[in-house]
Amino acid sequence: MIDLYTWGTPNGRKVSIMLEECGLAYQVHKINIGTNTEQFTPEYLQINPNGKIPSIVDSDGPGGQSVSVMESGAILIYLAEKTGRFIPAAPLVRIECMQWLMFQMASVGPMFGQCHHFLRAAKEPVPYAIDRYVREKDRLYGVLDRRLGEVPFLAGEYSIADMATWPWVARHEWHQTDLANHPNVRRWFETIGAREAVKRGMLVP
Ligand SMILES: N[C@@H](CCC(=O)N[C@@H](CS)C(=O)NCC(=O)O)C(=O)O
């Protein structure tokens, strides 16, 4: 059994989508990060020393031992290796998958997150920050759109790289992006959004 510690955010939903795609049994534990306390309890910090969601605890980890994993990208790789699914086996395609997963972890997630903060949550308008992060977000959409004009999915085949990126693009209205301006992203977004596992994963928690 896998315990999933999560909240209704793009990083959390990457993992619930993957668990649904793999058909793994899991139990959801809601960590309401809005309280600014639940993610910092001593019990939770044992699981995720960084005090963020998502995290998993797999009671049936390597060697039958319990293991906890933090960082959504590492969790996706862990689950892909555990099941042998959604991570390409062929070395050259596998590295494509890893590079687009890292692109999501290092660029798409952090930059879109900053857009959400400065466009929606900041206590006062900060025009310099809005300009900086909106420009970078638009540049990243350009990178995604060019890639998805060449291949159906980020790694060529549907993989954890797509599962990592899709929930962030699902918040396109939050970061004021019209997908009509990125037709290849829109085609990819609609294709993946039609998957039943993705629909189920997006309902968690
Ligand atoms: N790089 C981390 C980022 C995790 C992250 O930023 N989680 C946010 C929600 S999406 C969080 O827990 N925020 C609560 C806080 O910062 O106190 C990952 O991908 O797992």
pLDDT tens series, the chain, 205 aa: 999 999 999 999 999 999 999 999 999 999 999 999 999 999 999 999 999 999 999 999 999 999 999 999 999 999 999 999 999 999 999 999 999 999 999 999 999 999 999 999 999 999 999 999 999 999 999 999 999 999 999 999 999 999 999 999 999 999 999 999 999 999 999 999 999 999 999 999 9
Same domain, 108 and 189: yes
Cα(52) to centroid(ligand 1), Å:
4
Domain boundary among 86, 106, 126: 86
Same domain as 75, residue 24 = yes
> Does residue 20 sit in the same domain as residue 111?
no
Q: Which domain holds residue 78?
A: 2-86
Residue that terminates a domain, selected from 30, 57, 86: 86
Instruction: Check residue 127 and give its pLDDT.
Output: 98
Q: How far apart are CA 67 and CA 62, in angstroms?
A: 8
What DSSP letter does each residue of 114-180 carry, written as one string? HHHIIIII-SS--HHHHHHHHHHHHHHHHHHHHHHTTSSSTBSBS-HHHHHHHHHHTTTTTTT--GG
pLDDT of residue 94: 98
Looking at the fold, whether 82 and 97 belong to one and the same domain comes out as: no
* 13 belongs to a structural domain: yes
Q: Which residues line ligand 1 (CB under 6 A)?
A: 9, 11, 33, 39, 51-54, 71-73
Mutate which of 9, 11, 40 for ligand 1 pocket (most atoms within 8 A of beta carbon): 11
Assess whether 82 and 100 both reside in one domain.
no
Instruction: Give the pLDDT confidence score for residue 154 in this predicted structure.
Output: 98
What local confidence, expressed as pLDDT, does residue 26 receive?
Answer: 98
pLDDT for res 47: 98
Nearest CA to ligand 1 atom 12: 52
Candidate from 36, 53, 77 with most ligand 1 atoms within 8 A of CB, to mutate: 53
Last residue of a domain, one of 51, 86, 121: 86
Q: Would you state the pLDDT for residue 17? A: 99
> Which domain CATH number covers 60?
3.40.30.10
